[in-house]
Each structure stands twice: as C-alpha cells, then as structure tokens.
Amino acid sequence: MFVLVNLKAYPCDPVAVAKAAHDVAEESGVRIAIAPQAADIAAVADTGVETWAQHVSPNDYGSHTGSTLAERAAAAGAEGTLLNHSENRMKLADIDASVGAAERAGLETCVCANNPEQIGAVAALGPDSVAVEPPELIGGDVSVASADPDIVTDAVAAAEAVDDAVDVYCGAGISTGDDLTAADDLGASGVLLASGVAKADDPKAALEDLVAPLR
C-alpha cells in the first residue's frame, strides 16, 4: 500500500512532517510520500522522503505567469504530482495536458475524481494512478472505505475496465490503520490523506498508527 500525505495549505511544519514520514517509511518499509506547497518542495525533498507536487499546470515553458511548471517541480525534488484534487478542479482537457506535462518531466501522476464514473474518464487519460475522493467526506472523521465501500470497489472496477495498469487509491477521511486495511480489502493499492497527519499533534505517531497493520 502506498501512503500519500497531502499537506494542502495547512499551517503545519512541512519539514517536520517530512522527517517524520521519512523515519516511519524507513522503519516500516511502507512507501510514504509527502505533497507540500510548491514553495516547500525542495525543503521537503531534502529530508529524503518521497516528495510530490500538489499540482502541475497544463503548459510547457513560456508566458505562463502563476503556473507550476512540471519541469521545475521535478528539478526541486518532486517525484510525482496530484492532479484535479477536489479543491483544485480542472477541465478534462487540462487534466490530459497536465498528465502529459508530468510525464514529460518524469513525474508520476495521480488524478483525483469524485466518483467511479469520473474515475473511468480520467483513467482513460493514462495516469499512473487515480484516487477516488467523495468531496463531502474530505477532511472528515469518516473514511470513504467505511462510509461507502461500494464507491471504492466500483472505482477499482471502472479503472480496470479502462486500463488495468492504473492503480486506484482511496481518499477522503483516511486517518487510521483500520481505514488503510479497509481500503486494501476493497481493492485499493494506496491511500490519499491530509488532515489525519498534517493536523496531528504528533505526525509521526499518526503515521505509525496508520501503517501498523502493514508491519
């Protein structure tokens, strides 16, 4: 199982969270990545933890003020990128262009979607992975794997019907080892979470609890 922690724009110390994630990944053998704000990618990558961008823009070099260029994210140390998060929605054509930009820069891609139907549509664009995240559960205390397990199994089936090489991650409300186990049982190959770690008083303890079933 892959654990991808999105720090969003939360007022946490990204380097401290990254160091905690690096230590837990080393101790447990679980693949854990951190997705900080673009300005913090280099500092987070310097900790040695796998680092992802929260977004890359659907453009190449040029007159694109305010964009997050995939090549610069990669140069700063990013190894992958989220796209189309519920809090940063994109048009389908722009998702396609951003997937292409990420691939051009050698970044792994995970495209988020609200439901199984959207999962099928974005899986057709050829990302490395997709993440199903019902918006109403994002930031809550109940995981999608518990609240509506059919969404996860249907998302897995939708992605497989299009391209069985695309991994499916489970997001929204993930915070405990039980949530991770439930996602695994439903066919997901990873989880995407944010507040459960970024807002935790002790991020390392939160991550240790999360990956405990995998030890």
85 is annotated as an active-site residue: yes
Q: Which of 22, 50, 108, 133 is catalytic?
A: 133
Q: Which of 85, 103, 136, 208 is catalytic?
A: 85
**CA 173, CA 166: separation in Å to the nearest integer?**
22
133 is annotated as an active-site residue: yes
Q: What does the DSSP assignment read for the chain?
A: -EEEEE-TT-SS-HHHHHHHHHHHHHHH--EEEEE--GGGHHHHHTTTSEEEES---S--SSS-TT---HHHHHHHT--EEEES-TTS---HHHHHHHHHHHHHTT-EEEEEESSHHHHHHHHTT--SEEEE--GGGTTSSS-HHHH-HHHHHHHHHHHHHH-TTSEEEEESS--SHHHHHHHHHTT-SEEEESHHHHT-SSHHHHHHHHHGGG-
Calculate the alpha carbon distances from 182 to 26, 130, 150, 166, 187 in Å: 23, 18, 12, 20, 9
Nearest to 57 by CA among 28, 96, 26: 96
Active site residues: 85, 133
